[in-house]
Structure 1
Amino acid sequence: LTQSSDTVPFRFHLPTWQTPSASDIITGFLVLGLAQLPLSLANSLLATRQLIEDYFPERRISLRKIGMTYGAMNVICPFFGGVPVCHGSGGMAGHYTFGGRTGGSVIVYGSAFLLVGLFFSDGFAALAHHFPPAILGVLLFFEGMALMLLVRDVAAQSPRRELPITILVALLASGVPRYGYLLGLGVGLALFYALRLGWRGWNRGE
């Protein structure tokens, strides 16, 4: 089943089994895994769990369940030539904002990606090139606004001591090259538990 196209090749293509070598695993862990770990913990697990509580308070999704599905995806994907994937609070906010609030919406979304992979894998770069940047910009704008509104609610409801920590973590994560997420996560956790364990003066807002 083959059809030629000047721009986007159309050809049915099944994924092939690939076995990562030991050097691939070591390199991936040292170069990609360690750097990705703080972001994965913060965005793919903690932030996603919090977003589920905000958007779907009636549902009980544990960190363990999110972590298990996240890990399973990334263990299976490399054997079929896949790239690392995650849940992501930003993606969930985008789905929710544009009406994707049921399990069926995720099935439709995932099916579209499967079809692209099966029939347009040879020309995915060309296919992505034809996606209108203006539409992507609008999607990201409203997704960002949804997350900002949630942060506004958190800032209004949280004790005063937590807001400076949040701002500091955001500045470190976005302002420090390469290891900003790791530094921000470490500093944020240290300050949070330091306040909880002992700094009573700051804890009372004095």
Structure 2
Amino acid sequence: MATEIPSIPDLETAQVSTQTVHADSNTGFCSTVFLQKVKTNLVFRSKWAELNGAMGDLGTYIPIVLALTLARGLNLGTTLIFTGIYNIITGAIYGVPMPVQPMKSIAAEALSEADFGVPEIMAAGILTGGVLLVLGVTGLMQQVYKLIPLSVVRGIQLAQGLSFALAAVKYVKTKQDLPKSKSLGNRPWFGLDGLVLCIVCVCFIVIVNGAASKNHGCETREEGTDDHDYDQQVEGRRKRTSRVRKLIFSLPSAFLVFVLGVVLAFIRRPKVVHEIKFGPSSLEIVRISKHAWKKGFINGAIPQLPLSILNSVIAVCKLSSDLFPGKDFSATSVSVTVGLMNLAGSWFGAMPCCHGAGGLAGQYKFGGRSGACVALLGAAKLILGLVLGNSLALILNQFPVGMLGVLLLFAGVELAMASRDMNNKEDSFVMLICTSVSLVGSSAALGFLCGMIVFVILRLRSWTKGQPFSTIWTRQNPEQP
């Protein structure tokens, strides 16, 4: 029986069908891989630890956002909704507690200048985000990341960490008028926002998070007990001690401190319950005039760009590789996400945001290890923004500022400790020059410039000693082989 040979059109149809099946298979495979990666990034390593870690960023987030809400009319509800979405997306993409923080230089300008209002804030955020997006898409940000020496990056991290720690001490030591960014005298020892409460919170967090060494204690033998009974007694004591230590060290310290602050906020002003209005804030596009664009660019975007490039992109990439080996994020991706965040939310009045090494260090300090940490925080922000809107400012205004200072203190110290790997004198010298100028000059850009100049001079000095020209820009000590 003869076999029927298909015609050429039939063969072409079959080939097209096969290609379609392969394309659909590839698409399905890519979708499956992407969903699996997102699922993995959002897995809770430890429920209490991830919840506790989510509180590590609030020491910087709450004071800035609350101050702008009360002083400049920032839409808190819209900011919470957009930053909540940012948190969820970044947690799913990166799989680490990648923070979402307000842009500090823009916030500082808004709080210090009365005519720098919401339109100027949003213009500064859009322009800063646009520049970062261009730097990321073109690959220039990755080149900048490769060229900046590790010692200079550590100097920026140390300066930012110490800046956070000093601000935290100020929050704890003196009463604060957040809308005016002014200190109002020494904080009283006692009260619902007193020094004693802050000291207790600090000690509690140190005991839970900082007491990691094993306590072997001294066991004494009671007279009249044989070796077998004595061994049983010692083993029983050790088991009981181990259970108690495990219980204490597993407590979500930062979360408990934050919950205590919320409770104290209602106790300090019970009438706030009747002032709460439920429902999200109205979503409106911010009208930005030509004057606002100009002022936002000159007074907001230009000072913010160096800080965003150094601390929100380069320092974050380096710190994430230090804290999470194997998860090295490119400066390109981080720069693009920062740019897209601001190009999306700033048009609607959401506070301009970026990633920050301080927030990452703070969340890691308190137990954040996966994207679920920030995704959980983002879900909480999203719910609060939809349910309470701007009414949440009434509650946060009563939150004990000293307790926010406690959370900020540990975030700053953790970030500053990232610089401990500068083991040789030359790198330490560059780092400390960069840190000193950044702190005294109140400018990360100025500190960065001085650090780079000193680094180049030291490399040229080594080159004149006979070192190869290629060692001028290496991250290793020229004296090393």
TM-score range, shorter chain: 0.7 to 0.9
1:12 aligns with 2:280: yes
1:183 aligns with 2:434: no
Aligned to 1:155: 422
Aligned-pair CA distance for 1:203: 5.5
1:31 aligns with 2:299: yes
Structure 2 vs 1, CA of residues 145 and 35 (structure 1 numbering), >3 Å: closer, same or farther? same
Aligned to 2:160: none
| Counterpart-to-counterpart distance in 2, 1:32 and 1:79 | 16
Matches within 5 A, 1:1-206: 5-152=273-420, 154-156=421-423, 159-177=424-442, 180-196=443-459, 198-200=460-462, 204=479
User: Looking at CA atoms only, which structure, 1 or 2, has the larger radius of gyration?
Assistant: 2
Aligned to 2:131: none
Whichever residue aligns with residue 161 of structure 1, its letter is E
Aligned-pair CA distance for 1:84: 1.3
| Counterpart-to-counterpart distance in 2, 1:114 and 1:135 | 23
The answer to whether the 8 A contact 1:14-1:118 is kept is no
CA RMSD after TM alignment: 2.4
| Counterpart-to-counterpart distance in 1, 2:284 and 2:386 | 11
Structure 2 unaligned spans of 5+: 1-271, 466-476
Deviations 1:35-69 (A, max 9, x none): 11221122101110111111111113100000000
Aligned-pair CA distance for 1:7: 4.2
Aligned-pair CA distance for 1:125: 2.9
Q: Which has the higher contact order (CA 8 A, sep 6+)?
A: 2
The answer to whether the 8 A contact 1:165-1:188 is kept is yes
Aligned-pair CA distance for 1:5: 4.3
| Counterpart-to-counterpart distance in 2, 1:131 and 1:82 | 22
The count of residues paired between Structure 1 and Structure 2 equals 196
Aligned-pair CA distance for 1:89: 0.4
Whichever residue aligns with residue 383 of structure 2, its letter is L
Aligned-pair CA distance for 1:141: 2.3
Q: Secondary structure at the match of 2:388?
A: helix
Whichever residue aligns with residue 446 of structure 2, its letter is L
The answer to whether the 8 A contact 2:317-2:328 is kept is no
Deviations 1:88-139 (A, max 9, x none): 0010111111122111221111122222322333234322223233432332
The answer to whether the 8 A contact 1:17-1:79 is kept is yes
Aligned-pair CA distance for 1:19: 4.5
Structure 2 vs 1, CA of residues 16 and 78 (structure 1 numbering), >3 Å: closer, same or farther? same
Q: Secondary structure at the match of 1:11?
A: coil
| Counterpart-to-counterpart distance in 2, 1:116 and 1:30 | 34
| Counterpart-to-counterpart distance in 1, 2:458 and 2:440 | 24
Structure 2 vs 1, CA of residues 6 and 165 (structure 1 numbering), >3 Å: closer, same or farther? same
Structure 2 vs 1, CA of residues 7 and 124 (structure 1 numbering), >3 Å: closer, same or farther? same
Structure 2 vs 1, CA of residues 148 and 22 (structure 1 numbering), >3 Å: closer, same or farther? same
